[in-house]
Amino acid sequence: MGLDAVEVILAIEEDFGLEIDDEDVFSLETVIDMVDYIYFKLKKRRKEKHWCPDLAKKEFLNAVSRSVGEHSLSEIKMTSFLSELFSYVTRRTRWEELRVELGAGKHSWPSLVRPKKLLAAIFATILIALFVGIYNFPSILIWFADLFLFIFLMVITMPLRRQFPKKMKTINDLFDNYYRPYRHGYVSYETVKIRIKEIIVEQLGVAPSDVTDYANFIEDLGMD
């Protein structure tokens, strides 16, 4: 078993909190084989264990404390506001550090957003440019120029994405968002599939489009 395989297996074991038996590793040839295997393990664990919210919250607060840095664990509560814990200047960096600390996938982790006033200004600029362009230069090229302007404005304002998503104001809101699939030991089959594909993309550095259900780890994804 090569280094790539070891890294993928360790990442999946850590993410789902279970162990992949050594004798089963070589039978997991495709992505869907891995998904079926992990889902079966989770179903078995669900029958044996119960969701422990107090333990989960304690671990979550510890992760937040390590990522935030400026606040001690005793200062951080489930009711603490995210905007008070994550300073505006370092928010993007700290938010990413928390994602890594929790082992969450980039696609499943809530993204920071642009301020509403900034978005309103962008759309107002686009509309004004469109109307002025159509009035002075009635051509289909105006639509392409306006589209280019929109993309340009969205790209240059990426660093200003520092606002927390709607309905996510406190640590408890983030906790509910992150742990919702894991409550009562339940994780849907689709959630398992999405997360495993994210891990494979992150560990092997392949394109998400390459990680199909029946992609072979060795032949299709180049895992050694």
pLDDT score, position 42: 79
Sketch the domain layout of the chain as residue ranges: 3-50+185-210, 53-108+167-182, 116-160
**pLDDT string in tens for the chain (224-residue length):** 578 888 999 888 877 777 888 889 889 999 999 999 998 887 776 655 555 567 678 888 888 998 887 788 888 999 999 999 999 999 999 999 998 888 777 767 889 999 999 999 999 999 999 888 888 877 778 888 889 999 999 999 999 999 998 889 999 999 888 776 555 455 678 888 988 999 999 999 999 999 999 999 989 888 87
Best CA proximity match to 185, nearest among 58, 59, 47, 56:
47
* pTM, 2 dp: 0.59
By three-state DSSP, how is residue 135 classified?
helix
d(C-alpha 208, C-alpha 106), whole Å: 12
Best CA proximity match to 26, nearest among 6, 1, 7:
1
Query: Residue 161 has which token pair?
Result: 């994405």
Which residues, listed in sequence order, are joined to residue 113 by a DSSP beta bridge? 163
pLDDT score, position 43: 77
Instruction: Burial-class residue 42 by CB neighbours within 10 Å (0-12, 13-18, 19+).
Output: buried
Read off φ and ψ for residue 71, nearest 5 degrees.
-120, 140
C-alpha torsion 14→15→20→26, nearest 10: -110
pLDDT score, position 184: 47
d(C-alpha 217, C-alpha 190), whole Å: 20
